[in-house]
Amino acid sequence: MMKKIFTLLVVSICIISCEDVIELDLNNAAPRLVIDAALELQEDGFTEATVLLTRSSAFYQEEILFVDDASVIVTDPSGTDHTFILTNPGLYKNVTLNIQDGESYVLTVIDGDDIYTATQEFISTVPYSRVEQSEITGFGGFY
């Protein structure tokens, strides 16, 4: 019995001590603007419009580089500009935008001397009529 415990202990120590951290030497590029925008029509009819602006960073850098000094504007089909306000680090929101199904909206982000634009048609999702969960037998209890 002691021999089995000793063998198990030696094998455990060997497995645990064989950890070697490999750090890759990666090329670093200049930080670039990352734009994550979402226009969502809520069930109550209000629009939740948010834009998150960050900068790309080195692979091993854990800090998120938020962009707090940009201008974010969405232009609706009638040509009205809706300016977004910075509410949290990197997070811009707008509460005056009223989106309509099938209409196109233009997002403009001004970051220093750079101007980014995107056009998107808003298409609402199909409402759920039913959600069902069942177990598939014969494959190990998957759902």
pLDDT digits (tens, 9 = 90+) for 38-71: 988 777 767 889 999 999 998 888 899 999 999 9
What per-residue confidence (pLDDT) applies to 143? Answer: 55
d(CA 99, CA 22): 49
Strand pairing category for 71-75 and 33-41: unpaired
From 8-22, 40-54, 100-114, the region with the lowest mean pLDDT: 8-22
More confident residue, 10 or 17: 10
Please say whether the beta carbons of 51 and 92 come within 8 A. yes
What per-residue confidence (pLDDT) applies to 7? Answer: 87
For the chain, domains (ranges, CATH) are: 33-121 (2.60.40.10)
This model's pTM is above 0.75:
no
